[in-house]
C-alpha cells in the first residue's frame, strides 16, 4: 500500500473522483501545510491557518500507478488558477502535491514539465514534502455520495464527475 496527498481545491470534489479509481483503497479528506495544530474546517475557511484542503489516498500500486493518479489530479482541477478553484476562492483551495518520497517528487515534477504546454497560463501547482496531515471532520468523508442532492454537489461536482467517469472508464472500479 502506498500513500499520495493531493490538494486540488474543494476536497469534496477531489475525493469524488479518486474514490472511483480501481486500486484506491481509502481516501481521507483533510488539512495539510499550515501552522495551526489540529485545525478544523471553520479554522481553515478563514484562510489564516496556512492549511489547504487535501485528500490522503491509500492505493495499491499494483492496480493503479502514481502517474495515473497524477493524470487524474491534473485533469480534474485547474492547476493554473491562483488561490482557488472555480468559485471556491482562498489560499485553502490552492493546487499542491505533497509528495511522500523522492520518487513521487520526481514523477510529479516530470509530469508537470510534460503537460505545461497544454495550458495557456503557467501551472502554479506547488510541490511540497509531506507535512502533518490532519483528517477532516467525519461529515466531510464521502461527502459527494452522501449529499448528492445538495446544490453544491449538483451544480459544481456532478457535471465534472460525469465527464470524469466517461474519460477514465478504464481506470474505474468494476
Question: pLDDT for 111-163, tens place per residue?
Answer: 999 999 999 999 999 999 999 999 999 999 999 999 999 999 999 999 999 99
Neighbours of 23 (CB within 10 A): 18
Q: Is the pTM for the entire model greater than 0.85?
A: yes
CATH of the domain at 131: 3.30.1060.10
Place of cell 485533469: 75
Cα–Cα distance for residue pair 3/94, rounded to 1 Å: 20
* Domain count along the chain: 1
What digits encode the pLDDT tens for the residues 41-94?
999 999 999 999 999 999 999 999 999 999 999 999 999 999 888 788 989 999
Asked whether 22 and 63 are in contact (CB, 8 A), the reply is yes
For residue 78, the enclosing domain spans 2-171
Whether 10 is catalytic is yes
- Single out the catalytic residue among 10, 13, 45, 153: 10
Amino acid at each position: 500500500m502506498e500513500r499520495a496527498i493531493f490538494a486540488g481545491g474543494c476536497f469534496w470534489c477531489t475525493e469524488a473522483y479518486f474514490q472511483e479509481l480501481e486500486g484506491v483503497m481509502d481516501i481521507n479528506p483533510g488539512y495539510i501545510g499550515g501552522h495551526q495544530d489540529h485545525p478544523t474546517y471553520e479554522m481553515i475557511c478563514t484562510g489564516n491557518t496556512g492549511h489547504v484542503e487535501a485528500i490522503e489516498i491509500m492505493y495499491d500500486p499494483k492496480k493503479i500507478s502514481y502517474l495515473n493518479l497524477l493524470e487524474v489530479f491534473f485533469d480534474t482541477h485547474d492547476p493554473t488558477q491562483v488561490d482557488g478553484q472555480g468559485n471556491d476562492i482562498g489560499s485553502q483551495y490552492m493546487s499542491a502535491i505533497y509528495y511522500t518520497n523522492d520518487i513521487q517528487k520526481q514523477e510529479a515534477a516530470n509530469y508537470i514539465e510534460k503537460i505545461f504546454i497544454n495550458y495557456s497560463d503557467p501551472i502554479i501547482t506547488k510541490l511540497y514534502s509531506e507535512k502533518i496531515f490532519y483528517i477532516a471532520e467525519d461529515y466531510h468523508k464521502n461527502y459527494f455520495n452522501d449529499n448528492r442532492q445538495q446544490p453544491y454537489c449538483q451544480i459544481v461536482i456532478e457535471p465534472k464527475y460525469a465527464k470524469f467517469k466517461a474519460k477514465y472508464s478504464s481506470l474505474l472500479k468494476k
